[in-house]
Structure 1
Amino acid sequence: MRLSTSTNIMDRYQSIQNKITLEECIKACAKAGYKVLDINFCDMSNEGMPLTFDNWEEWVDSIGELGSKLGIEFSQSHSAFYNVCDMTIEDRPWREELVRRAIIGSAKLGVKWVVFHAGTVYDNGFSAEKSKKSNLEYFAPHIELAKKVGTGIAIENLFELPVERKRRYTGTVEELIDIVDSINDSSVGICWDFGHGNLMGIDQNKALRQIGKRLAATHVADNSGKRDDHVAPFYGQIDWAPLMKTLKEIKYQYDFTYEIHNFTNRMPIELRETALKHSVEIGEYLLSLAK
């Protein structure tokens, strides 16, 4: 298990998104001591961002070259996401093109696991059965593309929408395991988001044991238990020490990947270097608990 971080750890300046380029972020992370990164393609899919350009493949290649120069490995990524079960979304074809680019771009960078959100069917209320069926149909072609280009898909646990209190499919560990087992393909696994698990009040040690060998990726962030704060471990309420021992127990073999953009995005740029180094220190301490 290695320490990694999403590139959203440094992609905005005092809450103004996308004012710091991905290239700048990669350089800053390398300087702070990171050796492994998660490419946040969902932010790179926003309007005016590189994945939306006609020359997106050239841009991806340039990111790969920069990573090689700095000794950085890209092992995980996050695809653009939306409610994939909602067939009424007007720009769905464009969103799907961005998903396709994220899969291909991930493979170009050597990424092992592309993280996806499942969708939810609301048919006079939440329907787990219809959501599962819709997601199985949705993921099938994406899995085939991922296998063709040489990467894998990890489906992430979600949480209830805080305002509407709407159930979302894969908000429970049972739903997450069920869809991955139903797909039954070695190129498909689970991404466990610790922040989401905390918001759902899940016994995360029990959940990790249930998931076991299906665990392919992680999203590591802390929160207050009230909203998805995305702050560094120990800046929220999650009890991390038992979780690290459980990751060791289940023989988790992939990366311990931060998704902690709100830990840094309100800081002045002058403090980012110190904050990034501090995040590395926190991660190294946590990994020491799993040895």
Structure 2
Amino acid sequence: MRIATSTNLISFNRDGSKTEMVHLLPLYAKEGFRVLDLNLCEMLNPNASLAGEQWKEYAERLGQLKNQHALVFNQAHAPYARNGEILEEMLTRSLQICHTLSIPILVVHPIPGTIEENHNAFLPYLKAAEEYRVVLAFENLNEEGELTDIADLIGLVDGLASAYAGICYDTGHAHMCTHDLAKDIIMMGSRLVATHIADNKGKSDEHLLPFYGTIDWESVLAALSRIGYRGDLTYECMFFNRHLPLELKVQAIRQAKSIGDFLLSRVP
């Protein structure tokens, strides 16, 4: 396993603005993060470079920064709509970016509804993912009407019956839903291809660093080891530092890296 982070780790600012990935990659590399999850949800900001006509040039710049700083893009996160609809153009663009930048996994949110409805909705995109050799990793969610149970995600992935369909396990979402995280992980087994590592106190999706909430990380790591998980521990912890002044953001990156190294040292 490796420790990784979403590129949104310090992207949220005190004034409500968000810093784009191209400005953050060199800083993450400098502070020791070499494995990154590209947060393609930047497309949801109409003023973002990734949302405009120059998105291909922006993606090319990300690739240049990757090579310049010896980075690895282990996965990406596709944009999603709050109402649960598939954002067709953005999802297609996300797959194209993954293909261009050799990103092996694209995390997607299932739509609200049944396993069958999700199967039918994502099947066309799975065909594209297979052509691009990008795994669609379906994330466990946390709201009523969404796919929150691991058994449902397993049913979706098994029904799609493709080497390019898997699960991204969000520890924060599972904890909010009062899951036994170790049990979930054992159930997923080889279907687990990616993670969103975040902590909370069981009430809201706080996106905290590990040990700032109430998740039992020792049991999580033991379960990951038991199933032979070969993927990464990828942070999605963008809220623990969002109110920090800019001058303190670098310290927040260092803290995140230190906690990640500690987690890795505790893997059985």
Shift of 1:257: 0.2
Find the residue that maps to 2:8 and give its secondary structure.
helix
- Alignment equivalent of 1:286, drawn from 260, 263, 267: 263
Matches of 1:237 and 1:6 in 2, distance apart? 21
Matches of 2:101 and 2:35 in 1, distance apart? 12
Shift of 1:210: 0.4
| Mapping 1:42-81, distance limit 5 Å | 42-81=41-80
- So what's the TM-score if we normalise by structure 2? 0.96
Given that residues 15 and 265 in structure 1 are in contact (C-alpha distance below 8 angstroms), is that contact kept between their aligned partners in structure 2?
no
| Mapping 1:131-150, distance limit 5 Å | 131-150=114-133
| Mapping 1:150-229, distance limit 5 Å | 150-160=133-143, 166-168=144-146, 170-229=147-206
Task: Give the gaps of 5 or more residues in structure 1.
Answer: 87-91, 122-130, 161-165
Find the residue that maps to 1:12 and give its secondary structure.
coil
Aligned residue pairs, count: 268
Shift of 1:201: 0.2
Find the residue that maps to 2:239 and give its secondary structure.
helix
1:19-69 deviation per Cα after TM superposition (whole angstroms, max 9, x unaligned): x22112111111110010000001333211122211211210110111110
Task: Give the gaps of 5 or more residues in structure 2.
Answer: none
Matches of 2:34 and 2:82 in 1, distance apart? 33
The aligned residue for residue 100 of structure 2 is: 108
Shift of 1:73: 0.6
Shift of 1:3: 0.6
Same amino acid, percent of matched pairs = 33
The aligned residue for residue 111 of structure 2 is: 119
Shift of 1:289: 1.1
The amino acid of 2:135's aligned partner reads: G
1:187-243 deviation per Cα after TM superposition (whole angstroms, max 9, x unaligned): 110000000000000001011000000000000000111100001001111111111
The aligned residue for residue 96 of structure 1 is: 88
Given that residues 104 and 146 in structure 1 are in contact (C-alpha distance below 8 angstroms), is that contact kept between their aligned partners in structure 2?
no
The aligned residue for residue 125 of structure 1 is: none
Find the residue that maps to 1:205 and give its secondary structure.
helix
The aligned residue for residue 124 of structure 1 is: none
Given that residues 5 and 259 in structure 1 are in contact (C-alpha distance below 8 angstroms), is that contact kept between their aligned partners in structure 2?
yes
Find the residue that maps to 1:154 and give its secondary structure.
strand
Matches of 1:66 and 1:206 in 2, distance apart? 39
Matches of 1:215 and 1:289 in 2, distance apart? 20
Given that residues 5 and 234 in structure 2 are in contact (C-alpha distance below 8 angstroms), is that contact kept between their aligned partners in structure 1?
yes
Find the residue that maps to 1:42 and give its secondary structure.
helix
The aligned residue for residue 82 of structure 1 is: 81
Matches of 1:220 and 1:75 in 2, distance apart? 14
1:111-151 deviation per Cα after TM superposition (whole angstroms, max 9, x unaligned): 11100011113xxxxxxxxx222211111111111121221
Find the residue that maps to 1:254 and give its secondary structure.
coil
Matches of 1:192 and 1:199 in 2, distance apart? 13
- Alignment equivalent of 2:249, drawn from 258, 267, 272: 272
The aligned residue for residue 234 of structure 2 is: 257
Matches of 1:39 and 1:208 in 2, distance apart? 24
Name the CA shift for 1:104/1:51 in 2 (closer, same or farther; >3 Å): same
Provide the alpha-carbon RMSD of the alignment: 1.4
Find the residue that maps to 2:200 and give its secondary structure.
coil
Name the CA shift for 1:265/1:84 in 2 (closer, same or farther; >3 Å): closer
